[in-house]
Amino acid sequence: MVGYAIQLLAPRMLPTADSYVAFSVYWATLYLCGSALTGIQQEVTRAAHPAEPAHRPPALRNATVVFAGILAVAAVVIGIVFSSQLTTVPMLSLVGSLTIGLIGYLFMVVLSGVMYGLQVWRGVAMITIVDALVRAVLVVTGFALHLSPGWIVLLVSAPFIIAFGATWLTVRRRIVGRFQLDVGYQDLAFNTLRTMGAAAATGLLVSGLPVLLKVTSPAVPAPELAAHVLAITITRAPIVIPLLALQSYMISVLRHAGDTLLRRLAILVAVAAAVVGVLSLVALWIGPPLIAAISDGRYTITAGMAGAIVASAGLVGLMSVAGPALLVRSHHGFYAAGWIIAAIVTVLLLLLPLPFDQRLTTALLGGPLAGLAVQTYGLLTRVRADTRGAQS
C-alpha cells in the first residue's frame, strides 16, 4: 500500500504528463520483472520445511547465484532496449538501477520464501515493511527535491537491497541449516521455471499494463494515456496487490488444510467475488471524479471504464486466490497455463483494430476471464482425479 501511495503522489508531484508516463513505465518495468521472480518465492515457500540444524548441500544458494548472474545480463539488455522509451533517463543510470533492483528483488524473494516456509512471520513482516518504508522516504524525497529522473529510478530500486540486508542480519540464525527442500535440484528448477512463467504473466497483467499500453497505443495522446494508467493504478492496486502479496502466505496455510482445502477455497472465492461486485458498482459513481481530484483536474476517464477496470481487477484477484490451491496440489501446469493464457489474450485483445477505450475494456476483462477458466478447469480436474482415487 505504500507503493500505492507513491503512485498516487507521482501525478501530482511530477510536472508533466510525459514525466509521469516515464516514471510509470520504469516502475512497471521493474515490478514486471520482479513479478516473474516471485515465482521463485512461491516454489521455495512450498518446498521449504523445518529441519534439525545440520549441514546440507547449498542447492538454494547456488541456484540464487546463477539467477543473479542471469539477471545482471537481463538488466543490461532491458536497459538498452528501454532507453529509447525513457529518453529522460541516461542509459547507464537505467542499466545500473535495473541491475540493483532485480538482484535485490531476487535476494528478497528467496529469503522471503524460506521464511514463509518456516513460518518466520516476524521476518516476513520486517522485510516487507522495511522495503516499503525506505522506498517511500527515498522516492518522495526525490520528488520533493526535484531530482533528475536518473536519481529517481535509483531511489525506486535501492530499497530491495537495503531491506534484504537488514532482514538477513536479523533472522540469519533462525534460517541457516534449519530447513530442507522437499524436492531435488532438478525438480526445484523445473517447478521454479513454471511458477516464474506464471508470475511473469501475472506481472504483465498487473504491474506491466502501463508498459503494454505504451507499446500497443503509440498514437494515443500522453494526457489520455496518463489518465488510463492512473486509473488502472489506483483501482487495481487495493484489490490485486494485497492478494498477490498473500500468495505465499496462502500456500503456507493451504498446504496444511488437508480435506478442508476446497471448502476454504470456496469461501475465499465467494467473499472476493462479492466484494469486487460491490466495488465495481461504486466505481461507476466515484471513479471519474476521483481520477480528476487525484490528478488535480488534468486527467479524466468515463464511468464505464472505471467500472471495467475494477471488475478486471476482481477477476485477477480471483485468479490470485485459485492459484495457491493449484500449487499446493502440485498442479504447476494449470497454475502456469492460467496466468500465461490470461496474459496472451490480454496482449492480443489490445492489438485489435478498435477505438482505444473499447479495446482496453475488452482486453482488461477478456484476458483474466480466459485465465480464470483454465485455473477452474484445472481445479475441477484435480478434484475428480482425487475422488476417483479415493473410491478405488
Distances (CA, A) of 373 to 45, 68, 195, 366: 26, 35, 18, 11
Q: What is the pLDDT of residue 137?
A: 95
CB 321 within 8 A of CB 243: yes
Q: Which residues pair with 49 in a beta bridge?
A: 180
pTM of the model: 0.68
> pLDDT-derived band of residue 164, with 50, 70 and 90 as boundaries?
very high
Residue 385: the pLDDT is 62
At CA 18, angle to CA 364 and CA 207, rounded to 5? 35
C-alpha closest to that of 290 among 307, 273, 278: 307
pLDDT at 47: 82
Which positions ≥6 away from 368 have C-beta within 8 Å? 205, 312, 315, 316, 318, 319, 342, 346
Q: Report pLDDT for 6.
A: 85
Per residue in 346-364, pLDDT (tens digit) is 999 999 999 988 999 999 9
- Which residues neighbour 302 within 8 Å (Cβ) at sequence distance 6 or greater? 288, 357
pLDDT for 341 equals 94
- The pLDDT assigned to 134 comes to 96
